[in-house]
Amino acid sequence: MYQITRRLAPTPFFFSPFRDLELFDRAFFTPQTTSFKTDVTDKGDFYLVETDLPGFAREDIKLSLVGDILTVKAEKSNETEEKDDDGRVIRRERSLGSYSRSFDVGEVDTESIKAKYENGVLTLTLPKKQELKPEERLLEIE
């Protein structure tokens, strides 16, 4: 919001009545982030991660696990741009590019992670690791 209301200091050499309009346009139509909105819910035996990825095809979403870090990456290409009869882009308001988000899954049984993508929402089910109870041993006294 700060970028929308911020005004540039006036310069004595150049005056543009459209400067604020241009800043407003950039603030709304230029992507400002490379991540996406995510909800994480503790369901007792597992974590439920729901991520909004509207407009992505299932093939555009990649999940990778390196050590205890799970990364969700989604990439939009410009193949679906709106074009006029000559094939030139008239206006682009939909953001294109690569988006990613990483999560620490140290408390998760990574072998049992399940993922589902439906209606623009990626749902991950992350089962918690089972706590190993220490085994009781009797020691002999010498």
Q: Which amino acid is at 21?
A: L
**With the C-alpha atoms ordered 104, 107, 111, 114, is the resulting torsion angle positive or negative?**
negative
Contact (Cβ atoms closer than 8 angstroms) between residue 110 and residue 80: no
Together in a domain, 68 and 124? yes
Q: Are residues 26 and 54 in the same domain?
A: no
Residue 83 inside a domain? The answer is no
100 and 49, same structural domain?
A: yes
Residue 79 and residue 15 in contact, taking contact as beta carbons nearer than 8 Å: no
Residues 8 and 19 in one domain: yes
Query: pLDDT (tens digit, 9 = 90+) per residue, 17-62?
Result: 666 666 666 666 555 556 788 999 999 999 999 999 988 899 999 9
Q: How confident is the model at residue 83 (pLDDT cuts 50, 70, 90)?
A: low
> Of the segments 1-15, 36-50, 80-94, which one has the largest average pLDDT value?
36-50
In a domain, 90, yes or no: no
> DSSP alpha helices (H): ranges in the chain?
2-5, 19-29
pLDDT digits (tens, 9 = 90+) for 106-130: 999 999 999 999 999 999 999 999 8
Q: Which of 86, 91, 60, 89 is nearest to 73 (CA)?
A: 60
CATH at residue 118: 2.60.40.790
CA distances in angstroms from 138 to 34, 132, 135, 141, 142, listed in the order given? 56, 19, 10, 10, 13
Number of folded domains that form the chain: 2
pLDDT at residue 1 in the model: 41
Domain shared by 48 and 5, yes or no: no
Do residues 67 and 1 share a domain? no
Q: How many residues does the chain have?
A: 142
- Residue 142 falls inside a structural domain: no
Closest listed residue to residue 29, CA positions, set 97, 76, 92, 105: 92
Q: Is residue 109 part of a domain?
A: yes
Q: Which domain holds residue 8?
A: 1-30
Confidence of residue 2 (pLDDT cuts 50, 70, 90): very low
5 and 57, same domain (yes or no): no
With respect to residue 134, please indicate whether it lies within any of the assigned structural domains: no
**Does residue 103 share a domain with residue 52?**
yes
Per the confidence metrics, is the pTM higher than 0.75? no
Q: Please give the full DSSP string across 110-129, using - where no structure is assigned.
A: GGG-EEEEETTEEEEEEEBP
Q: Which two tokens stand for residue 130?
A: 């089972």
Q: When comparing pLDDT for 53 and 83, which is higher?
A: 53
pLDDT at 81 over 60: no
